[in-house]
Amino acid sequence: MLIDRPERLAVGVVAPKGARRPANEVAVALDRRLSRETEGDVLFDPASRGRYATDASIYQIMPVGVLVPKSDRDVAVALEIARELAVPVLPRGAGTSQCGQTTGAALVIDTTKHLRNVVAVDAERRVATVEPGLVLDHLNAQLKPLGLWFPVDVSTSAQATIGGMAGNNSCGSRSIAYGNMVHNVLGIDTLLADGAAVSFGPMNDASGRAAAIGAFVRDLALRNRGEIEARWPKVLRRVAGYNLDIFQPQSEKPYTGDGSVNLAHLLVGAEGTLAWSRTLTLKLAPLPSAKVLGVVNFPTFHAAMDAAQQIVTLGPTAVELVDRTMIDLALANPAFAATMTTALRGQPAAILLVEFAGDAKQALLTRLGRLVELMGDLSLPGSVVEMTDEAAQKNLWEVRKAGLNIMMSLKGDGKPVSFIEDCAVPLEYLAEYTDALTEVFARHGTRGTWYAHASVGTLHVRPILDMRRDGAGKMRSIAEEASVLVRKFKGAFSGEHGDGLCRGEWIEWQFGPHINDAFRSIKDVLDPNGLFNPGKIVDPPKMDDSALFRFPPPQAPAPYRTIALVPALDWSAWDVQNDPRTEAISAPGTGDDSTGGFAKAVEMCNNNGHCRKFDAGTMCPSFRATRDEQHVTRGRANTLRLALSGQLGTDAFTSEAVKEALDLCVSCKGCKRECPTGVDMARMKIEFLAHYTKRHGHSLKDRLIARLPDYAHTVSRVAWLANARNWIPGAALLGERLLGLAAKRKLPTWRSDTFWRARDENDFASAGATLAAAQAGEKVAVLFVDTFNGVFESENALAAARVLKAAGYTLHTLDKGGGHHCCGRTFLASGRVDEARDRVGALIDALLPFAQAGIAIVGLEPSCLLTLRDEALALGLGDKAIAVSKQALLFEEFIAREAKAGRFDVAFTPVEAPMLVHGHCHQKAFAAVAPILDVLRLVPGAKPALIETSCCGMSGSFGYEARHHAVSMAMAEASLLPAIRNAPDAIVVADGTSCRQQIAHGTKREALHVARVLERFLPST
Ligand SMILES: Cc1cc2nc3c(=O)[nH]c(=O)nc-3n(C[C@H](O)[C@H](O)[C@H](O)COP(=O)(O)OP(=O)(O)OC[C@H]3O[C@@H](n4cnc5c(N)ncnc54)[C@H](O)[C@@H]3O)c2cc1C
Ligand code: SF4
Ligand code: SF4
């Protein structure tokens, strides 16, 4: 069925005049025609539509269908078909809008996959023309060599598209210096609702249709001159409604340098309601060659707000506020803690990040000095942390940019909600406004977490509300009281993120009925039949129409409910509620989640789109390879949420649609660390597979791979036979047909000289001797040898033993009937949680006496060893698992720790060759990459360089599977393999078994475990 629950939510409420509800037949016809007449991806299945039903707001509306166009021509064809079938169209970039403007019962057209080219750059004139789906950071990366940038630096710069930024009239942290989008767009080439291609630019150059539209709007503006003068907010940060004031600018900053009128500005901030932007011409700025940052630590929030007006007189390019709650959340987040610490002096209630940028560093340092003086004058001597190093500044800006995401990491149903989150007031009223708003929140039993563009009076405050229960009522009351304050202080109700669904109804409040009618006239002239993004800006619904919520409360027509499910893993840490006043979390398991906390863990995804990134870090390798919404963490979390709440039909949780969404997840755990709300999709995939395989059974390949640790020892005795697949002609092809293992891949070579057979027994102490040595204060460790390093690459385990012995450690290694214990990883990877629990339980029992004696458990394979610190804690194994996890260390972590403590002292021989290091994804997820570099530097002359990589693409058996081979290689080719090819003399270091295999397959080079590199430089005895 095509029209289901969320469709019911949308229609009627948001449909504008002229747009009719798309019936099933219409949707079917639309699907058919788009598939036939365009080259793009046409997505009409419920799961795909569900993935486009939300943006970063509290709303959800199921679209009619989705088109991911391959070309501009596809868009033109789609608009024509939509017009003929009377289906509305919703343009979409990254979908990071916070107000619901990117949700709608329409045909969604996603620009991000293909329409992302830079069309032209004129460096001399400082002008660039780009396609709408180009991401801001990607544009700036291309401009950097020219010494230029596009300076509307939104926090979502790694995801936000230029089309979406123009749609929202976005504003960056440095808007005090550069202005908003409206100040930086020079022209927009469009397709209008009737299919006409019209270019909007300077009014003076306009002809034909553009000139007629310009004349119409000019007359409208003239007729409303008095109203505009009286009611238009005079602040820089006003983004509500259409920019009718281009003829009579009301902004603190003129829209154009020479005071002329640019008709493209009419479309900026129009939220996709007036026209389709095909290309956008932008004004570029010279890249400042130097920046300095002063972080001012304040004892009270009020003092920070009050100081902003004095600080702006020093001419900063940015003044950004971070409050105590956000400081604490950043300190609690492993990705941000270290950086946040560098900014603090004691325990401030708030900090202001004050940036000065320009070409002469000395002049900037003088200004920084003035900031220090000013703070002294304001009785805050010693409150400024001076950051002159650009890398340190960049790290802190990243934390500030992640502000909202950090806030959203609050567990429980109460979440910080966006609806008055960007009101802007003149600076002189900032402190008074924040005090008054704090009282409003308190009256409604909540409080806000604050961060702000203090330089321009925009306050990002979100009260914590439970939208599944009483949030809607409180939202309205708070909005009404906040609006009184905004009016009192002559501010703008909508100052940055747009109107969308949460502020659409406030447009008339802000501008009055006459200007509101003028907005309707503009819509009527450009889009008379309401083709584009209905229900936004003109004829919006009520902000608190709970039928439009992502989590509709019990009184809504279709309340949000989750299915009953007994989880295989322990998710109770998410099954909690929070107190909106204190943000205190209730005890695990008390959150009333029918899935034991699994659904609430999934719901932590607030759709901010941070996972759609290509910059440093790992997340999300499958999206980096495919650019499909289905294959990004957000798409997966949305699919799981919709399935767990019954919105994809009965039994959807164990359906093929969910399996497909998770199929390319390589379980790299990139999201566990890099998703600001900690969505751990790798763990979620295990949970899913546990249920899916219960219903559908396991494939032969999955069974063979899962049980590998069980039979590895026995099979290694007949290694020659086991390797037959690699050398008998046709065997690989047969294997592909029977097991789905890619014939193109050589499988790991079985060997009979396993670690357990090849080791010198004398090198290892008995359990008793090891415990006694530990008690005597000697240097002791337990070497945990996994299946892969034990059976297929025993030289790694032997090397580790040699290095540790050379450093004087008494070593013990576990034995199990001449074979080995297993961490359960291969079982977890195929959802066999019970069997994994058995294996890892036995391993933990064997390790427990050593852990209790405080002896380090040293492992080699990151995914195996780190299972002890991760999944083993979610298997219900109790305190013993915690005890073992605390002693579990990777080989390099152990050596780095011991070297730091002065207990590891080996005189390695020098190295001359360069070294290239690739971190395994799980090492990255556990911040365990730096120790590899630290221990390599123990070798004299070593200058290890880290390759900036995401996942290598092999990920256990993933890359061996025929259906994944292409995407696996695409992940590897993104940066890893080219970097290695470019360094033919380098020693390549990779601790992950599958990483080494991928490198060997892709470059024919041998990568070494760090243990073998150290072994190579051991002094000869
Ligand atoms: C964590 C977080 C931080 C944020 N920080 C900022 C910030 O610092 N400053 C800021 O201003 N905003 C911020 N935002 C809001 C949002 O990221 C920005 O508005 C961003 O520019 C939107 O880009 P997008 O590609 O996601 O647009 P989308 O959400 O996809 O679209 C935005 C609007 O543009 C329209 N549109 C898209 N493409 C076209 C097209 N081709 N033709 C016509 N219309 C089109 C859409 O219909 C929609 O109405 C933040 C959001 C989040 C979640
Ligand atoms: S998965 Fe995480 S990073 Fe991605 S959209 Fe959801 S919350 Fe943001
Ligand atoms: S585990 Fe890796 S591949 Fe899977 S969703 Fe997270 S970042 Fe993406």
pLDDT in tens, 28-83: 999 999 999 999 999 999 999 999 999 999 999 999 999 999 999 999 999 999 99
Distance 682 CA to ligand 3 centre (A): 6
The ligand with the least distance to the CA atom of 682 is: 3
Cα–Cα distance for residue pair 284/161, rounded to 1 Å: 16
Distance 817 CA to ligand 3 centre (A): 37
Using alpha carbons, select from 143, 127, 19 the residue that is nearest to residue 82: 19
Determine whether the shortest distance from the Cβ of 667 to ligand 3 is under 6 A.
yes
Handedness of CA 232, 233, 236, 238 (dihedral sign): negative
Residue with the larger pLDDT of the pair 905 and 10:
905
Cα–Cα distance for residue pair 496/502, rounded to 1 Å: 13
Give the residue, out of 58, 92, 453, with the most ligand 1 atoms within 8 A of its beta carbon, to mutate for a pocket test.
92
Q: Which atom belonging to ligand 2 lies closest to the Cα atom of 56?
A: 5
Q: What pLDDT does residue 798 have?
A: 97
Q: Residue type for 133, please?
A: G
Determine whether the shortest distance from the Cβ of 251 to ligand 1 is under 6 A.
no
Name the closest-CA residue to atom 6, ligand 2: 605
Distance 635 CA to ligand 2 centre (A): 9
* Percent of the chain whose predicted confidence (pLDDT) is above 90: 88
Q: CB burial class (10 A; 0-12, 13-18, 19+) of residue 272?
A: buried
Provide mean pLDDT across the span 380-406: 89
Confidence check: pLDDT of 509 > 60: yes
Whole-angstrom CA distances from 76 to 63, 73, 80, 532, 602 are: 19, 5, 6, 13, 37
Least confident of 63-77, 218-232, 443-457, 463-477: 443-457
Q: What pLDDT does residue 1021 have?
A: 58
Using alpha carbons, select from 646, 630, 533 the residue that is nearest to residue 103: 533
Confidence check: pLDDT of 403 > 90: no
Determine whether the shortest distance from the Cβ of 606 to ligand 2 is under 6 A.
yes
Least confident of 79-88, 372-381, 713-722: 713-722
Q: What is the mean pLDDT of the chain?
A: 94
Determine whether the shortest distance from the Cβ of 156 to ligand 1 is under 6 A.
yes
Q: Which atom belonging to ligand 3 lies closest to the Cα atom of 667?
A: 1
Distance 134 CA to ligand 2 centre (A): 20
pLDDT in tens, 650-664: 999 999 999 999 999
Task: Categorize the per-residue pLDDT at 14 as very low, low, confident or very high, splitting at 50, 70 and 90.
Answer: very low
Determine whether the shortest distance from the Cβ of 96 to ligand 2 is under 6 A.
no
Q: What pLDDT does residue 332 have?
A: 84
Task: Categorize the per-residue pLDDT at 335 as very low, low, confident or very high, splitting at 50, 70 and 90.
Answer: confident
Name the closest-CA residue to atom 4, ligand 3: 665
Confidence check: pLDDT of 1012 > 50: yes
pLDDT in tens, 678-731: 999 999 999 999 999 999 999 999 999 999 999 999 999 999 998 988 889 899
Distance 157 CA to ligand 3 centre (A): 21
Determine whether the shortest distance from the Cβ of 636 to ligand 3 is under 6 A.
yes
Confidence check: pLDDT of 208 > 90: yes
Do residues 162 and 132 make contact, with C-beta atoms less than 8 angstroms apart? yes
Provide mean pLDDT across the span 964-968: 96
Cα–Cα distance for residue pair 759/182, rounded to 1 Å: 70
Q: What pLDDT does residue 876 have?
A: 96
**b/e 399-434 (16+ beta carbons within 10 angstroms → b):** bbbbbbbbbbbbbbbbbbbbbbbbbbbbbebbbbbb
Provide mean pLDDT across the span 851-875: 98
Residue with the larger pLDDT of the pair 414 and 2:
414
Q: What pLDDT does residue 22 have?
A: 55
* Percent of the chain whose predicted confidence (pLDDT) is above 70: 98
Determine whether the shortest distance from the Cβ of 606 to ligand 1 is under 6 A.
no
Determine whether the shortest distance from the Cβ of 404 to ligand 1 is under 6 A.
yes
Q: What pLDDT does residue 900 have?
A: 97
Cα–Cα distance for residue pair 1008/457, rounded to 1 Å: 54
The ligand with the least distance to the CA atom of 676 is: 2
The ligand with the least distance to the CA atom of 625 is: 3
Q: What pLDDT does residue 2 have?
A: 30
Distance 859 CA to ligand 2 centre (A): 31
Determine whether the shortest distance from the Cβ of 165 to ligand 1 is under 6 A.
yes
